[in-house]
Amino acid sequence: MEYKKLYRRIDFPLSLYTGMMLLYSILMVYSALPAEKTFSFTSRHLLAIGLGLVILLIFANFNYQLFREAAWTFYLFFVILLLFLLLSGRPIHGGKRWLSLGLFSFQPAEPMKLAMVILLAHQLSNWRRNLQRVSSLFWPLVLAMIPAGLILLQPDMGTAMVFFPLSLGILWLGGAQTLHLFSLVSYFFIVGVITFMVSYFEQQPLIMEQHVLFFYLYKAFTTVQGILTTGIIVLIGLISVFFLLKRLRFQISSVHVLCTVLILLGGILTSYALVGGVMKEYQKRRLAIFLNPGMDPLGAGYQIIQAKVAVGSGAVMGKGLFQGTQSQLGFIPARHTDFIFAVLSEELGLVGVMTLLLLYYLILSRGLKIALQARDDFGTLLAGGITLFIFSQALINMAMVTGLLPVSGLPLPLMSYGGTAMVTDLASIGILLSIYRKRYVH
């Protein structure tokens, strides 16, 4: 009987999958490190995992409703830390991302993601009936974009990029209309396309000199006169299409046209602000290099080229632990942190990659099952948000390493070396275990 009670209180599958992922992480970090750093960095990695497991156990035994009560406190605390970093933080490797606490450094952006998930779950569980209206999406997006903007100014584009799919996913779980979310996706798509295009043209001036069309496209999104002209053309074009569809008896309302205009113009203006002042020069170069790594194979394109070589050379079975030429000879930068997936692919091949994907799938499936079994809306949204939090980061990191997204500083969850990220990930698993433990409590 005692065993049955224990089994009902503890999610053994999720605990097992997390433990397997941590063992995999220790093995790959140990393999990725250079010989002179193996002991010190592996010790720190084990220390971070140990601290994370302690927090996991504490959170697992909490009533997760306590996080609802402290949601605003957590959120505001980490927002203040991000502001403090921007105003008085010491730049490290060109960015103000770490807060020094004497013996160790702390990266507030990592727990900020978890704090945002908790707050959005809290707010949306209260607003669930009102999420069918477009206006109800405003405040949740503001809550997500405030920390994302502060992190982007550090600058840390990779971490800021996570807030977009994370906030949209939680809004969808909360009951927001698919059409409204599609409009938001369209807005960010427009911003992305224009920002990529302008960044690429800036790094390739010969293209603009040789092609008049590209020159005018560049000016259309980088000057005030160009923005005004583009806006007027878009407005006239949409009004013309609207009246044409009306004459052809299509069912289309003026509200839809107005929303389309706002999305297009908003995307253009946001892109202008990004490329005109917010983004650093090296960030624009990264976007251009993503489109054409061969532009600078020994500079900005070096990371992605070497990572692709490592991933491709692993074949099916890999070269074996400690046998990867790209990793062991130091061709892959940040190989124990952001690019650990490249090391894993080279040394363990397709078999190792499929093992990693299987573990992520198992954790994802358990997280979604816990969300479905949660006793209230807050538990459902919190479990779903945490699952998206882990899954979206994994997806973005692997897409970055394989060249499907621009290179950005984003660790692979539950796998990469990195104290703050590892502790935050394990704390998130602890909250999932708490939601599971309380699923039958009323």
**At 100, which helix (H) or strand (E)?**
strand 99-100
Residues 252 and 152 occupy one common structural domain? yes
- Please indicate, yes or no, if residue 70 is contained in any of the structural domains: no
Query: Is the Cβ–Cβ distance between 314 and 350 less than 8 Å?
Result: yes
Query: Is the Cβ–Cβ distance between 382 and 435 less than 8 Å?
Result: yes
- Please indicate, yes or no, if residue 142 is contained in any of the structural domains: yes
Structural domain range at position 40: 1-62+296-442
Residues 425 and 339 occupy one common structural domain? yes
Residues 210 and 350 occupy one common structural domain? no
- Amino acid, res. 81: L
Tokens found for residue 8: 């009902």
Query: Is residue 1's pLDDT more than 50?
Result: no
The model's pTM is 0.85
Q: Mean pLDDT across the stretch 359-372?
A: 93
Query: Is residue 287's pLDDT more than 50?
Result: yes
Q: How far apart are CA 30 and CA 422, in angstroms?
A: 16
- Please indicate, yes or no, if residue 329 is contained in any of the structural domains: yes
> What's CA 142's distance to the chain center, in Å?
17
Q: Mean pLDDT across the stretch 219-224?
A: 68
Residues 27 and 133 occupy one common structural domain? no
- For the segment 296-325, what is each residue's pLDDT rounded down to a tens digit? 676 667 777 888 888 888 788 888 888 877
Q: Mean pLDDT across the stretch 177-188?
A: 78
Residues 377 and 314 occupy one common structural domain? yes
What are the residues facing 106 on neighbouring strands? 99
- Predicted confidence at residue 2, as pLDDT, reads 46
Residues 136 and 55 occupy one common structural domain? no
Q: How far apart are CA 198 and CA 339, in angstroms?
A: 27
Q: Which segment of 24-38, 358-372, 425-439 scores lowest on mean pLDDT?
A: 24-38
Domain count of the fold of the chain = 2
**At 349, which helix (H) or strand (E)?**
helix 340-373
Residues 392 and 357 occupy one common structural domain? yes
> What's CA 160's distance to the chain center, in Å?
7
Query: Is the Cβ–Cβ distance between 398 and 4 less than 8 Å?
Result: no
- Amino acid, res. 253: S
Q: How far apart are CA 101 and CA 109, in angstroms?
A: 15
Q: How far apart are CA 147 and CA 98, in angstroms?
A: 15
Q: What is the mean pLDDT of the chain?
A: 81
- With both helix axes pointing from N to C terminus, report the angle between 254-273 and 224-247 in degrees, rounded to the nearest 10: 160
- Predicted confidence at residue 3, as pLDDT, reads 45
Query: Is the Cβ–Cβ distance between 313 and 331 less than 8 Å?
Result: no
Q: Mean pLDDT across the stretch 266-282?
A: 75
Helix ranges restricted to H, 177-223: 178-203, 205-210, 212-220
Q: Mean pLDDT across the stretch 363-375?
A: 91
- Please indicate, yes or no, if residue 136 is contained in any of the structural domains: yes
Round to the nearest angstrom and report the end-to-end CA distance of the chain.
Answer: 22
Residues 136 and 52 occupy one common structural domain? no
Q: Which of 309, 300, 306 is nearest to 408 (CA)?
A: 300
Q: 238 or 387: whose pLDDT is higher?
A: 387
Residues 342 and 403 occupy one common structural domain? yes
- Predicted confidence at residue 255, as pLDDT, reads 65
Residues 146 and 52 occupy one common structural domain? no
Residues 310 and 391 occupy one common structural domain? yes
Give the whole-number percent of the chain exceeding pLDDT 90: 24
How many helical (H) and strand (E) elements, i.e. helices and strands, does the chain have? 19, 2
- For the segment 245-265, what is each residue's pLDDT rounded down to a tens digit? 777 766 666 666 677 777 777
- Please indicate, yes or no, if residue 394 is contained in any of the structural domains: yes
The domain boundary, picked from 247, 279, 311, lies at 279
Q: Mean pLDDT across the stretch 256-282?
A: 74
- Please indicate, yes or no, if residue 323 is contained in any of the structural domains: yes
Q: 135 or 98: whose pLDDT is higher?
A: 98
Helix ranges restricted to H, 274-316: 281-291, 302-313
Residues 408 and 314 occupy one common structural domain? yes
Tokens found for residue 208: 């603009």
- Please indicate, yes or no, if residue 438 is contained in any of the structural domains: yes
- For the segment 27-72, what is each residue's pLDDT rounded down to a tens digit? 998 888 877 777 888 889 999 999 999 999 999 988 888 988 889 9
- Please indicate, yes or no, if residue 101 is contained in any of the structural domains: no
- Predicted confidence at residue 4, as pLDDT, reads 53
